[in-house]
Amino acid sequence: MLTSKLEVLVDFGATADQKLVDKTLNELKSHDGVVEAVFKDGAIMVETNLPSTNILDMVTKTSGKRAVLQGFGETQSAVAMISSQSCCQSRVMGVIRFQQSTEGPLVADGSIDGLSSGLHGLHVHDTGDLSQGCNSIGGHYNPLGAPHGAPSDEVSSRHAGDLGNIVADETGRATFRIVDNVLKVMDIIGRSVAVTDKKDDLGRGSSPTSKIDGDSGKPVACGIIARSAGIFQNPKRICACDGVVVWDEKDRPLAGRGRRVEKKSCCQKDKENSGEFQRCCKV
């Protein structure tokens, strides 16, 4: 069983309630697929083979507190924030994290919202060029010049970037954890990852594009793959530039409109909350 280690930062406050911490840890440990869960340096470290989104949901529901994935993996890690890049009428957004041990397979762990229900192809593409949105990311990452195939195919019978299909439920969310023996994290940093509007036929179809892209259609969302922090490698709790704490940051854009709380500066008293400071100032 290939596991990953996750660092889950939870908004327990300045002094964590030990009973609440223990309750959260015990709930995690009660689930199959969770090997270990410990509270360390103000965060919960979880070793698991479950998707990180499932772990975050468990922590949030059990503790009643805000939680965010602060670190993923112990060694080589990367992340892609994907979106529809204004390419489509629908709004698709998500996060995909990549992690790899020194000599082990790659793990692609993600959650994407806004998809139509059903199967969608997932592929790593050649470039990280988003100048024309998802139209400028090139073809599938394919250093050996192989035909398109399935993740289970031999290296000579698939693109290195072929990650198969993910499944979106009736709400449009796809949560997944893919283990791949071909891709290497250090080879894909700076490239892009995309999800397509149709399912990937894995190179088994009769369409002329089956051996090119699995007849999976155009990307509906994409993003650049960037290096990211492993567990306990990122001490950030608050963004000094705008006062947004890490728990709130995950629900806001990286910059621009909507990033900060409108009409209130950090540490300004909130009249609607009996003169107390906004929570953005509490770390």
- pLDDT tens for each residue of the chain, 283 residues long: 789 999 999 989 888 999 999 999 999 999 999 999 999 988 999 999 999 999 999 999 999 998 988 889 877 899 999 998 765 556 899 999 999 977 789 999 999 999 999 999 999 999 999 999 999 999 999 999 999 999 999 999 999 999 999 999 999 999 999 999 999 999 999 999 999 999 999 999 999 999 999 999 999 999 999 998 777 776 665 444 444 444 444 554 444 444 454 434 444 444 444 444 343 333 3
Residues of the domain holding 250: 246-281
Predicted pLDDT at 229: 79
- Alpha carbons within 13 A on the beta-carbon side of 33: 9
Predicted pLDDT at 232: 75
In a shared domain, residues 130 and 208: yes
pTM of the model: 0.81
Is residue 168 in a domain? yes
In a shared domain, residues 145 and 216: yes
Predicted pLDDT at 211: 96
Is residue 232 in a domain? no
Is residue 86 in a domain? yes
How many C-beta atoms lie closer than 10 Å to residue 226's C-beta? 12
In a shared domain, residues 89 and 210: yes
Predicted pLDDT at 236: 60
Is residue 235 in a domain? no
In a shared domain, residues 108 and 16: no
In a shared domain, residues 21 and 64: yes
In a shared domain, residues 89 and 220: yes
Q: Which of 52, 72, 92 is the last residue of a domain?
A: 72
In a shared domain, residues 65 and 82: no
Predicted pLDDT at 87: 52
Predicted pLDDT at 235: 63
Provide the domain count of the chain. 3
In a shared domain, residues 175 and 251: no
- pLDDT per residue over 175-204, tens digit each? 999 999 999 999 999 999 999 999 999 999
Q: Where are the alpha helices (DSSP H) in the chain?
A: 18-29, 52-63, 185-188, 210-213, 246-249
